[in-house]
Chain A
Amino acid sequence: MPAVQETVARVREIDVDKYKYGFFTDIESVKAPKGLSEDIVRFISEKKGEPEWLLEWRLEAYRRWLTMNEPAWANVKYPKIDFQDLYYYSAPKSTEGPKSLEEVDPELLETYAKLGIPLKEQAVLAGVQGARVAVDAVFDSVSVVTTFKEELAKAGVIFSSVSEAVKTHPELVRKYLGSVVPITDNYYATLNSAVFSDGSFVYVPPGVRCPMELSTYFRINEKQTGQFERTLIIADKGSYVSYLEGCTAPMRDENQLHAAVVELVALDDAEIKYSTVQNWYPGDKAGKGGVYNFVTKRGDCRGAHSKISWTQVETGSAITWKYPSCILRGDGSRGEFYSIAISNGHQQIDSGTKMIHLGRDTSSRIISKGIAAGHSNNTYRGLVSAHRKATNARNYTNCDSLLIGDKCGAHTVPYIEAKNASATFEHEATTSKISEDQLFYCLSRGLSAEEAVALIVNGFVRDVLQHLPMEFMAETQKLISISLEGSVG
């Protein structure tokens, strides 16, 4: 069955108002007391048995955070967040650090099975045949299990939760943590540095091509709990790794905060491909509830001829505020950003990228596809800059927006700065509407309105979709249609 029809079949199975991943797992958890203070920062650090330097690092960030103001420049609106009314640490009681699969609470295994995430190594992703993917599963504040670790270790690849890496590879963590996104970076990144709980750590040694896709699956389960994941990926000289993250959360009336930091470091000739399929709970039809997704993602092409490629599919969250960026430091390095951002209902998205050209002969490419439906607002915000020394910097940017209906908005806010006259920057942008004529043409061929929109949108995002790891392409096509259900008729 072609993907489109499969999608539609899936959409039909689901009640229009139901977010598929909206269930809650009833599991006993250990929480930090509500609110944020130095004591809470110490509590988290102690829970994780961290070394003194890391505690100091956190405290420095916390003190810094107290002096900062929440950013207000993004094109999003939300009531003021009460940071004292949140839990900053929550972990399933049965989980004291990551374990082997046999020891994982069956309740948790059940949760991930329901989400279609295989934690058994012989299992494969739902609906995908022959694909083997190593998974790190993060539940609220902790990593519950990481699969295929032994097999990866044979290739020299380190894949674990960041908490575990602090213990097993402190020198690597210490060297790279905060080296791309410093603790002073921005309000949410600084907050994250103070209270980050867990996330994934990847190190690929020189000359190694990581033998399988790596992925992390984030799940917020507890009420009023913020998730502050921290992911750090280092690709040493001449290595390659492809990594994918997925995210879901239960349906709740109140908003949940997710403030993650992701740091990527690519050394000489290394390549990192980072893909995100973000499907946090978007809130209900009236715009109640949903996740605030305030995320800082940045990659540093530190070595010559290194390459970092971001691919994102953003369909969830009440508010998305994220700009996966590349610092093109190494000569001849390359940054890419491929984005599909879909907003429906009352969702607000302000997302884009920054391509900062520092080295000579650096190049970057930005392809962004924004789709706005319902009452949503969808903004692309992007910066392309060439430093004085960035001779022959090249960028190509293409931003297309597609509107469905007449109550939504699409905006494009590009910033371009060239301090070197040899820079070549190209920017193309289009905004279009799904035309009544296109829809009618499809309907007259027997497609339903849902099928027609799914087909047209899948065509619109095709250039970006093909940059996702193959294993996730079909799944993503379905997700796109599900996100758009109820957008026509």
Chain B
Amino acid sequence: MLEIKNLHANVDGREILKGLDLTLPTGEVHAVMGPNGSGKSTLAYVLAGKEDYEVTAGTVTWNGEDLLAMDPTERAVAGVFLAFQYPMEIPGVATMTFLRTAVNSVRKARGEAELSTPDFLRFVREKAKALKIDPEMLKRPLNVGFSGGEKKRNEILQMALLEPSLCVLDETDSGLDIDAVRVVADGVNALRSPERSMLVITHYQRLLNYIVPDRVHVLSDGRVARSGGPELALELEDTGYAEFDGQAA
């Protein structure tokens, strides 16, 4: 279970999160929505441990452990995974090499055996196929020259391979056409399980037609302004964020 209490965080000396509370039980999928600037991406980065995101108050525990005390590598090993809104390009490093380095680093740190080459290839091919990823794509340098859809599918592929227990998806639908959203959503849905929690951050309700959340939280000015069931997302679809934008101003 993820428990966020009274979380305050600064970026470049400016307070973005201003006392955020959120509880995500194990096995549930919660959506985090909200207008631009409400703190959605900041929340994602704080959970993953990005350096410039300074936590000034509050606590975040993951299955009872203090997440904020861990460095980003330790969080990944502990099962936290962030699907980036803008995945980074690493020239000259084949995607396959990157995936293998990541998988084996995490497995090793978790005390599991590293995968042999044939086992790893089998593992990747199977997961890639489900995401409609062309094996040729995995030979190309990581994210270099990838289309928006390829980048996002690659994020979900990493999620599938690293087998995290807490998935944070930061605007995974942004910049995707409807077919691509469907492929990505299918990939995410395939990973839903009673042992895995997911936080799906999105600006638009569209993604939640495909990834149906257990709960929806609306952020405004660095706090959760409202929480509700999946119907809350539909309501926002009609009314927009005007109500919440007002609070932010």
Contact = CB atoms under 8 A, between A and B. Distances in A.
Interface stretch (A46-54, A201-209, A332-340, A455-463): A455-463
B244 to A, nearest CB: 29
A461 B93 CA distance: 10
Nearest to A438: B88
A440 interface: yes
A445 B105 CA distance: 9
A446 interface: yes
A286 interface: no
A317 B141 CA distance: 32
A2 B97 contact: yes
A129 interface: no
A447 B100 CA distance: 11
A462 B93 CA distance: 8
Chain A contact patch, size range: 20 to 34
A2 B51 contact: no
B158 A445 contact: yes
Given A436-B52, A447-B105, A459-B92, 11 more contacts: A1-B104, A4-B97, A438-B88, A440-B48, A441-B88, A443-B49, A445-B76, A445-B162, A446-B73, A446-B109, A458-B92
A456 B102 CA distance: 13
A5 interface: yes
B91 A460 contact: yes
Nearest to A462: B92
Given A446-B106, A456-B90, A459-B90, A451 B48 contact: no
Nearest to B161: A445
Interface of A: 1-2, 4-5, 435-438, 440-449, 451, 455-456, 458-463
B102 A446 contact: yes
Contacts of A442: 90, 102
Interface in B196-219: none
A301 B180 CA distance: 55
B114 interface: yes
A459 B48 CA distance: 25
Contacts of A460: 91-92
17 contacts: A1-B104, A2-B101, A5-B104, A440-B48, A442-B90, A444-B76, A444-B81, A445-B105, A446-B73, A446-B105, A455-B90, A455-B97, A455-B101, A461-B92, A462-B92, A462-B93, A463-B92
State the majority secondary structure of interface residues on A. helix
Nearest to B83: A444
Contacts of B76: 443-446
B98 interface: yes
A456 B91 CA distance: 8
A451 B72 CA distance: 13
Interface string B61-96: 000000000011101110001101001111111000
Contacts of A455: 90, 93, 97-98, 101
Nearest to A460: B92
A377 B76 CA distance: 35
A443 B49 CA distance: 9
Contact of A447 (B49, B101, B141): B101
Contact of B73 (A5, A443, A459): A443
Given A5-B105, A458-B92, A441 B84 contact: yes
A440 B88 CA distance: 9
Contacts of B88: 435, 437-438, 441
A441 B75 CA distance: 13
> Which of B48, B81, B91 has the largest number of chain A CB atoms within 10 A?
B91
| A-B pairs with lowest CB-CB distance, top 9 | A459-B92, A459-B93, A446-B106, A446-B76, A443-B72, A462-B92, A441-B88, A445-B102, A446-B105
A458 B97 CA distance: 11
B49 to A, nearest CB: 7
A446 B72 CA distance: 8
B50 interface: yes
B195 to A, nearest CB: 18
Contacts of A5: 101, 104-105, 114
A235 to B, nearest CB: 32
A444 B101 contact: no
A186 to B, nearest CB: 35
A440 B50 contact: yes
Contact of A446 (B49, B52, B162): B162
Contacts of A446: 73, 76-77, 102, 105-106, 109, 162
B90 A438 contact: yes
Nearest to B50: A440
A459 B141 contact: yes
Nearest to A489: B71
A13 to B, nearest CB: 15
A444 B48 contact: yes
Contacts of A444: 48-49, 72, 75-76, 81-82
